[in-house]
Amino acid sequence: MTLSALLYGGKVDQLTSFFSLEFLAIFFPAALLLYGVVPKKCKPYVLLAESYVFVWLISGKLIVFLLLATLLIHYCGLWLDRLQINMRQALAEGESDARKVIRAHFTAKQRGVIALAVVLLIGTLLALKYSAFFAGNVNTLLSLFPVTLRLQVPQHLLPIGISFFTLQALSYILDVYRGTTKADDNLPRLALFLAFFPQIVEGPICRYHQTANALWNAGSIRFENLTQGLQRILFGMLKKIVIADRLDPLVKTVFSNHEAYDGAVIAVAAVCYTIQLYMDFSGAMDAVVGIAQIIGVSMPENFSRPFFSKTISEFWMRWHITLGTWFKDYVFYPITASKGMKKLTKRSRKTLGNHYGPLAAGSVALFCVWFCNGLWHGAAWNYLFFGMYHFVLILGGSLLTPVVRWLQRVLRIDPEQWWYRTLQMLRTTVLVIIGELFFRAHGLLAGLQMFERLLTDFSLQPLTDETWVDLGVDRYDLWIVAITLLLILFVSVYNEKGVSLRDHLSKKKRIFRWAVLYALIVYIVVFGAYGFGYAPVDPLYAQF
Amino acid sequence: MRQVSKHIGSAVMFLAGLLILLAAVSALLVPKTNAAGGGMRDPSANGILGEPANTIDVLFLGDSESYCAFVPLQLWEEQGITSYCCGTPAQKLCYAQTFLKKCFQKQAPKLVVLETNEIFRNFSAVDSLLQGSKLPILSLFDYHDRWKSLNSRDLNPGVSYTYMDSAKGYRFSATVAKASTKGYMDPDNQIARIPTKNYLSVETMKQFCELHNARLVLVSTPSTVNWNMKRHNAIQELSEALQLEFLDLNLMPEQVPIDWKTDSRDKGDHLNYFGAKKVTNYLGFYLAETGVLKNHKYDIQYKHWDAAAKEFSETIAKASTRKINIR
């Protein structure tokens, strides 16, 4: 595999999809077989080699960015560790009145190391992913003035997963600085933590303590893990191939030619895109979790039935969970815990009270989180708008909480009643769909035009005539999507109640278990949107 | 150890059951006719399956360049040679091999003409697995979407290939889009790279043809967009190494006088009917001179070719009465 891989460096980008034949029929079985047959002490090295082969096949020479990020955090981590040991020694040996000076001296040095790592990691990401966006905007600004100066708009190729492994690298180095993680002197273990092949494409964004040791010490493949892992991959495949990819032609047609459609079609496309994105991304996460489960590693979950959320805040605790917690831990909390913000909270609490007081500092931190979140998704104004949209919704939700509680009291509404919760879920879903409309639109202007059409040019006629036939889907496609969504809803409702249907199934008789699995496999093979007549759809989050 | 054996046995049983199930579903979904209405992919190329046995003497293979350049019914009219074009859009060599094998199950062509543009098309192991395999179970992955058009006929697993393409695989177009000839076939000593597996595929096809008493001939049809001296040099080298006949019609302006102002349907990428006529006319003489092909023009068994040729002429006559779109 390794020799032929050399020839195909950067040419096998089909591997970014865990459900491509290249991955499912060639890379994954070969990687699993190799991992399974080597002695236990070699397994982590084989896993690392496979991960690098994977990145090499997709990104070719751009793998160098992953290697440099690994070396950077490894040595910066050790440097920080050395500084912390020296500080402890100096504090132990130093006199009590000198301790403050010693601490300040070493803290400044550590901050210097952190600054170096952060600047290099974020700088690389900015240079590769955002320089074209910044240069384009500067040129737009310059065009307003009578100057001929223009910046050259650079076009860089991005190594696969740079947005994901950069955040993982940052979390490691910041955790070492905070003392919550010990610096790892084992370079291959740290390298595997960053490069583990299923996770590098679309996450989840793991913390060092969550996966590094688990991956390094992953043992032999156990039959139970193999079957459970494969079942999870199969479930992901159902979401991706049967639903997400089947909706792709409709979404692509409407979003690329939105001027031709009225509000109803745009609304349908926005709903379909939201479903597509969820099924695509959560399907890929099922594959990642399933692959890791096969080797006995438990990966953090990235989704927890987000469309059961009653508020937007709750939605973001259930959707792309690892990104949300990353921003919470490394942006939100550091800002709210900073001296300036603490002072602001103290002051505003006195004037605004206990509910609105902390919101002043919180809103500053929240703004930073959503600015970064929007920008992380892509270098375009519609992504920034998407971030700001959610910032406004979450902040608005917090500001209105006392009013809503008052209204509930006055109108004698029990917020736990089923109809009230259902309304809340529907409201949240509608708000999410509007956000996704801007997220998917080809630029902010297109998003605004589409949204305007939703409000001003809405009629149900296109849904009753044959308009949708020209959107790349037929009634059979829509039936299959609807049936499969019901199936997934059924599983999700049980999961929400804390019942795992997979565990339930594993206790059934073999004939029943196999019948269910056979049915699922045949369903995917027959009703999947792949092969002749379908364009392969790249994983949606791999582009971020 | 006992536990491991139990698990292996269980996995084997599960997979065996799955294969049987998939084979059954495959039998249901695979097209039962070779026509587009029956769900067959590339029906014009697969029309060869409906031709009477042992009636095709020349088989054309290739990507879109082939079905835009070779006119089987003109060959019939001018030389009495029966031929069929199994070219398909963006055809890869693994798919060409499938057609080659499919064709020889019912026909016994004396000559196989491979249009050389597809020799530069990369294909993956997955392409080979799906497009190059004869395993019926894999057809399921090709034709899984036929569930939308299943009917009672599909419950009978037998197939009936009776559809015959009226143009014998050629795809007619009288559209004219003038091509630029800037840099076209300018001298160049460099050699384009042929992927190793493509080289091996051509070699395999040659061996297959030899085994079936047929000759493989390489032909480069005129194209200002796809063809150049680097590619010519590469195919020249390949043909010498494999001892194959090679005709580069791009370098034969006297025999094939393509006028790039009128003979392309899409600015030099593919030939239109006027260009194809010139290619086929020359190729007819070339094929006739090989001495291995019979003139079936007056053979009663081949009367249906006259009917097809008449229908084809009428199509062309209708098209030429319409205004030709010149871009």
CA B209 to CA B206: how far, in whole Å?
Answer: 5
Residue keyed to tokens 């460099």: B190
CA–CA min distance B22, chain A (Å): 7
pTM for the whole structure: 0.83
Highest mean pLDDT: which range of A147-151, A280-284, B178-182: A280-284
State whether A449 and A308 are in the same domain: yes
CB-CB: which of B41, B126, B140 is closest to A22? B126
CA A324 to CA A302: how far, in whole Å?
Answer: 9
Q: Which of residues 522-541 of A touch B (CB under 8 A)?
A: 522, 525-528, 530-534
CB-CB: which of B3, B129, B147 is closest to A526? B147
Q: What backbone phi and psi angles, to 5 degrees, belong to A403? A: -65, -45
State whether A209 and A248 are in the same domain: no
Reference A443, options A188, A137, A143, A172; nearest CA is A137
State whether A257 and A157 are in the same domain: no
State whether A165 and A301 are in the same domain: no
Q: Which helix (H) or strand (E) holds B257?
A: none
The domain total for chain A is 2
Q: How many CB contacts within 8 angstroms connect chain A with chain B?
A: 51
Does A451 fall in a domain? yes
**Lowest-pLDDT choice from A53-62, A197-206, A350-359:** A350-359
State whether A434 and A285 are in the same domain: yes
Of the residues A186, A216, A246, the one at which a domain ends: A216
Residue A79: what pLDDT? 94
At the fourth CATH level, the homologous superfamily of domain B31-321 is SGNH hydrolase (3.40.50.1110)
Does A295 fall in a domain? yes
pLDDT tens string A476-491: 899 999 999 999 999 9
Task: Residue A512: give the domain boundaries.
Answer: 236-543
Does A19 fall in a domain? no
Mean pLDDT computed over A413-434? 92
CA A512 to CA A510: how far, in whole Å?
Answer: 5
What is the distance in angstroms between the CA of the first residue and the CA of the last residue of chain A? 29
State whether A105 and A204 are in the same domain: yes
State whether A201 and A242 are in the same domain: no
What share of chain A has pLDDT > 90, as a percent?
59
CA B28 to CA B144: how far, in whole Å?
Answer: 10
- The interface pTM score, or ipTM, of the predicted complex is 0.78
**Which alpha helices (DSSP H) does A295-380 contain, by range?**
312-318, 321-327, 333-336, 339-377
State whether A384 and A350 are in the same domain: yes
CA A80 to CA B273: how far, in whole Å?
Answer: 74
CA–CA min distance A68, chain B (Å): 31
8 A C-beta contact, residue B250 and residue B232: yes
CA A190 to CA A169: how far, in whole Å?
Answer: 9
CA A386 to CA A393: how far, in whole Å?
Answer: 11
Does A199 fall in a domain? yes
Determine whether the interchain pair B21/A25 forms a contact, defined as Cβ–Cβ distance below 8 Å: no
State whether A91 and A197 are in the same domain: yes
In whole numbers, what is the pLDDT of chain B averaged over residues?
Answer: 89
Q: Is the pLDDT assigned to residue A1 strictly greater than 60?
A: no
Mean pLDDT computed over A459-479? 79
Q: Is the pLDDT assigned to residue A502 strictly greater than 90?
A: no
CB-CB: which of A25, A223, A533 is closest to B126? A25
| Residue A374 forms contact with B (CB below 8 Å) | no
Does A5 fall in a domain? no
Mean pLDDT computed over A8-23? 81
CA A199 to CA A289: how far, in whole Å?
Answer: 9
State whether A408 and A532 are in the same domain: yes
